[in-house]
């Protein structure tokens, strides 16, 4: 029987945090949603969540946010090898200890599993995860693959809508991999509060591994036009991301992740999603369903292919 009845979610307004807030509320937990901007968070999140102001770079506010809570979910909104990341991790570690947290769920936000070559991003994720798993608070690390949410980056939508071209991810056309819906990551995160998972790194993904061309075939129905996979090179992707992030260093660093995927000997990253569903008693979202329902709804809401 679990004694976890409350969860504090850091990054609650973000792509990864928001679904965790929703899944935890759905599971009947008391949820404290952390943001640096209370007004923004109250506007975005369910009124059933208690919005709380804290900053991962301000340790005392992190401890306050954890105070009286059973468990915490967090991820790094910065590059894992940066000094800011280290400071954020140490804030969380100190807060977890002083507040008597029972369980910490961290998502690495990216995949650094077996076969991934060393590089600043992957090494940073390995180091942060290792650090968290050595603390004396029960911790689990989720290790997701590529987020399906990346498919709503504005330039990707524009290129598909205007040219029928999917230029992302910058991977070989034959490479088959599991993508991850952030809603599925959230379902696993909440299930982890109850399960005997402390000390583990758990690969997270959504069912239905696809290649770039497979994904294009799924996109046809929501875009109502032919879509061809014409991936950027990793260098081109680094450039694009540098512009998006306003930082050449971030562009280069994240591009290393895709270089790593391309270097994996077989397909991948691939995750046994059936085993994940069985272990946690949850249903995950097949990629075709995510495209049809989630992406379809997002395109309707934020810009249909015709406008």
Ligand X SMILES: NC(=O)c1ccc[n+]([C@@H]2O[C@H](COP(=O)([O-])OP(=O)(O)OC[C@H]3O[C@@H](n4cnc5c(N)ncnc54)[C@H](OP(=O)(O)O)[C@@H]3O)[C@@H](O)[C@H]2O)c1
Which residue ranges make up the site for ligand X (CB under 6 A)?
A: 10-11, 13-17, 35-37, 40-41, 55-57, 75-77, 109-110, 144, 146-147, 150
Minimum Å gap between C-beta 129 and ligand X is 12
Nearest to ligand X of 37, 274 (CB atom): 37
Q: Are 80 and 121 contacting, i.e. CB atoms less than 8 angstroms apart?
A: yes
Nearest to ligand X of 41, 89 (CB atom): 41
**Residue 178 burial (CB count, 10 A):** 25
Cα four-point dihedral sign 241, 242, 245, 248? positive
Q: Taking the chain, what is the end-to-end CA distance rounded to the nearest angstrom?
A: 51
Of 26, 14, 24, give the one whose Cα is nearest residue 189.
Answer: 24
Nearest to ligand X of 223, 258 (CB atom): 258
Q: In this structure, what token pair is assigned to residue 59?
A: 């340790």
Give the nearest residue (CB) to ligand X: 14
Nearest to ligand X of 36, 131 (CB atom): 36
Nearest to ligand X of 16, 102 (CB atom): 16
Nearest to ligand X of 193, 257 (CB atom): 257
Rg of the chain over CA atoms, in angstroms? 19
């Amino acid at each position: 029987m679990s004694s976890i009845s409350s969860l504090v979610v850091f990054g609650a307004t973000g792509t990864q945090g928001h679904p965790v807030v929703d899944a935890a509320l759905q599971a009947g937990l008391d949820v404290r949603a952390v943001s640096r901007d209370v007004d923004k968070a109250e506007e975005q999140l369910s009124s059933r969540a208690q919005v709380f102001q804290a900053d991962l770079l301000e340790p005392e506010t992190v401890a306050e946010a954890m105070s009286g809570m059973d468990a915490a979910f967090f991820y790094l909104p910065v590059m894992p090898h940066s000094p800011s990341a280290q400071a954020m991790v140490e804030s969380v570690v100190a807060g977890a200890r002083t507040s008597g947290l029972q369980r910490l769920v961290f998502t690495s936000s990216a995949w650094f599993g077996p076969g991934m070559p060393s590089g600043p991003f992957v090494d940073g994720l390995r180091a942060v995860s290792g650090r968290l798993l050595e603390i004396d608070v029960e911790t689990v690390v989720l290790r997701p693959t590529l987020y399906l949410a990346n498919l709503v980056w504005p330039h990707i939508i524009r290129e598909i809508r205007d040219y029928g071209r999917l230029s992302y991810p910058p991977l070989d056309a034959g490479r088959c991999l599991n993508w991850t819906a952030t809603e599925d990551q959230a379902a696993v995160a909440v299930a982890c509060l109850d399960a005997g998972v402390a000390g583990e790194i758990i690969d997270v993904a959504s069912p239905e591994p696809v290649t770039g061309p497979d994904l294009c075939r799924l996109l046809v129905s929501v875009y109502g036009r032919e879509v061809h996979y014409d991936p950027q090179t990793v260098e081109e992707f680094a450039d694009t991301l540098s512009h998006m992030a306003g930082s050449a260093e971030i562009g280069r660093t994240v591009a290393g992740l895709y270089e790593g995927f391309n270097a994996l000997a077989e397909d991948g990253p691939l995750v046994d999603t059936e085993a994940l569903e069985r272990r946690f008693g949850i249903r995950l979202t097949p990629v075709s369903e995510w495209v049809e329902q989630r992406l379809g709804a997002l395109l309707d809401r934020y810009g249909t292919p015709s406008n």
